[in-house]
Chains A and B, each alone.
Chain A
Amino acid sequence: MDQTPNIAANRLPPDMLARNFSDAHPPLTAGQATIESDRCYFCYDAPCIEACPTGIDIPGFIKKISTGNIPGSARTILESNIFGGACARVCPTEILCEGKCVRNTQEDRPIQIGALQRHATDWQMRTGKQPFSRAPLTGKRIAVVGAGPAGLACAHRLAMQGHDVVVFDARARAGGLNEYGIAAYKLADEFAQKEVAFVLSIGGITIETGMLLGRDMTLTSLRADYDAVFLGIGHAGVRALGIAGEYFPGVHNAVEFIEELRTSPTKSDVAVGRRVVVIGGGNTAIDAAVQAKRLGAEEVTLVYRRAAENMSATTVEQEWAQTNDVTIRYWSAPVRIDGTEHGVASVTFARGLAKDGRAVYDQGNYTLEADMVLKAVGQLFLPDPLAEDDIVIEAGRIRVDAEGRTSMKGVYAGGDCTAGEDLTVAAVRDGRNAAEAITAALMKAGN
């Protein structure tokens, strides 16, 4: 990253950095977990289950915590979601399971499902073993492209069902956005790598890193060499702002800033501006803003085009940014970035409001001084790696049916590269379901 006096690493002493990027929400103690689990009503056909994309038997695993059956609880979770540990930490539970907990209606205080899920899965991971083993080997070989949550969840389920799996990923480390995207304090203490090791401990999965689909292999070649292929390649592209000044030094994609941060063990080598402006309204914008602040930026302003309720970041996320001293400005559209060849100087925004249900930006302009600008206006799926292959892309994503089948026979896809919510838990569900579909198809084919 370019260095100017105003963009610098080491703004904070190492111990402070360590503290700022450690676990944001420490685990429940055993006592807290017991009390919380006793609060659960053990609902029948519980609404929380329906709200979990992976459909974890939530009352079931919570009941087991309350009876002291932690191994059973962990197994219940992991059976539905092998990334139960990551999901417990990163799921926006307020819009998923906890959002639907009946305790909201009763007392505005849902069961802390995520925290309880972490309690049980942490126990499992401390044992160093996973509760699953492989079915008798089938002799089938399946290729998975992308070692993110979607790809690894698929690989795990396939391995469990007795198939051999090779997972290819372009990067040096497996884990996908768990490894280089999610905010550091959500997956502290190298959790992503530990979880990858945990998932792989089932056996039968080979990881091949540094393998880029489209360069080192093609879909057609994979199809020829394997019994089936699963694509979990996420989205590589980042949407541009499309305004003047976007390429001054000091203007970055938020995902790249985050990736640099995530790949730095100490964070002391990650440079950040004094005055940082983040443009966007999703979780990436929030994460970039909060982490910039925690790196030692003096002023961080998150600027969003519309109102708080239009943001895709949840209320909880917005509040998290505010408690981290990030200023959020709503109803502002970026117009222009000013600066020199030495770096960015300011961003100008047009103020707007809603007129007849449409956003109109005619309320005058204002300018924020900035030495670093982070763009977080959305990630894009880039179909380039599939260019040579004949696969249907629809609305910018790989088209799949309910079982995860793409338009190409024997090729499945899931996670961020397909339509639907871009969430870790949704990626896990897609991978798991595709594995089930692959096994069903291979076994039905009877060969």
Chain B
Amino acid sequence: MADLSINFAGIRSPNPFWLASAPPTDKEYNVRRALEAGWGGVVWKTLGEDPPVVNVSSRYGATRYNGQRMAGLNNIELITDRPLAVNLAEIKAVKKDYPDRAIIVSIMVPCVEESWKRILPLVEATGADGIELNFGCPHGMSERNMGSAVGQVPEYVEMVTRWCKQYTRMPVIVKLTPNITNILNPARAALRGGADAVSLINTIQSVVGVDLDAMAPMPVVDGRGTHGGYCGPAVKPIALRMLGEIARTPDTSVLPISGIGGISNWRDVAEFLVMGATSLQVCTAAMHYGFRIVEDMIDGLSNWMDEKGFETIADVTGRAVPNFVNWNQLNLKFRTLAAIDQEACIKCGLCHIACEDTSHQAISKTLLNGERHYEVIDEECVGCNLCAHVCPVDDCITMVPQPVEGVQTWNEHPNNPMRKIPAKAG
């Protein structure tokens, strides 16, 4: 059986599955249940300075899509609303009872050296394994110049990271906000500040929906709404891209990555790992189904690793990174063609209308022996995949790679006005 244990920037964990800093890790009670359920570790809900913040009632909004609940979740919660001393005492008690698990403490205090200098020894005294700097919270806290307000300014990220490295011996993980244009800027700042690792992504600024009776954004708090942070399955693609960017860029690739954003099952986990993550953090999926989801993550990942012959998480991390390239490095000579498995086809016509109305008119609709019949017109098919995505039957439409003759990327393509013409000798 595969070995799922990890050493993440010096933090040891029996498996790479951690609960992200959020309501599931807000209290000793929840955290104990999580650890009993098998989670490798937790990032404790972000601590702040006393007096604690106050949260509103009605805190979440969600995206439903075609019957799927919580395809995306949006929250307008702040950091922990409990006194610092209560949290610290609970962290200490938990760490004592679960010495083998990763107990990481998320922190967000004002952007002044004194504040960090004050809180870090208190956290260290709990016996926690590491800290995570919350530069990501996109609402409420950023309006107080904390959270993503700091995360959006690379100089601040660097400065705060440096203070932390100075005032504690604990490994420092910098949690990055996705609410910026280029994720590499804060990642590099964290690196310069001496961060031991990064975690990403925090939530994405969003208005999840509008209540058409209240005429206010959701969730509605006494007639009004505000923007919140978006997470859950819907944000996974954004997270994967940002993660991959850090993993493939030579200078930032040295940073261990804790992957976060929409992870719901072992497949998501495997994808985050091969795109460069070493540990994973989960929030929404646990909030949707409870802590038991970790069981499938553990044995799903382990079965998959056995099948692929991977023995450790280190064997998996970053496997797909070399193949994550810029568009201009893709081979323009490569072609795939859609192929319909006529036996599996249920004749819904969706591939036809999608291609006919919005793509390349490459799926014909005819009657064959009185039965509706759909067929790919190879000459017209550009291999865009749209039909394969709309087809409701698994594996009914496959994209068949065609023989390739050589490689030609945009860099060499004659249509590229900026193409590099190989310098002639002499």
Contact = CB atoms under 8 A, between A and B. Distances in A.
Interface of A: 34-35, 38, 41-47, 66, 102-103, 105-106
A106 B344 CA distance: 8
Chain A binding site: helix, strand, loop or mixed by DSSP?
helix
Chain B contact residues (Cβ within 8 angstroms of A): what range? Answer: 10 to 19
Interface in B370-426: 372, 392-393
Contacts of A42: 350
B347 A105 contact: yes
A400 to B, nearest CB: 26
A45 B372 contact: yes
Given A35-B67, A105-B347, 9 more contacts: A34-B67, A43-B350, A44-B353, A45-B349, A45-B353, A66-B67, A102-B348, A105-B346, A106-B346
Closest 8 CB pairs of A and B: A44-B349, A44-B353, A38-B67, A102-B346, A43-B348, A105-B346, A102-B348, A106-B346
A362 B66 CA distance: 60
Interface secondary structure of B, over-half rule:
loop
B365 interface: yes
Interface string B327-367: 00000000000000000001111101100000000000100
Contacts of A38: 66-67
B350 A41 contact: yes
Contact of A44 (B346, B348, B393): B348
Contacts of A46: 348-349
Nearest to A66: B66
Interface of B: 66-67, 346-350, 352-353, 365, 372, 392-393
A103 B346 contact: yes
Given A47-B372, A106-B392, A106-B393, A41 B67 contact: no
A335 B341 CA distance: 54
A216 to B, nearest CB: 48
A45 B346 contact: no
B365 A45 contact: yes
Contacts of A35: 67
Most B CB atoms within 10 A — which of A44, A45, A105?
A: A44
Contacts of B346: 102-103, 105-106
A42 B350 CA distance: 8
Given A41-B392, A66-B66, A102 B347 contact: yes
B341 to A, nearest CB: 13
A41 B66 CA distance: 11
Contacts of B348: 41, 43-44, 46, 102
Contacts of A106: 346, 392-393
A422 B73 CA distance: 53
A43 B348 CA distance: 5
A47 B347 contact: yes
A42 B392 CA distance: 11
A287 to B, nearest CB: 33
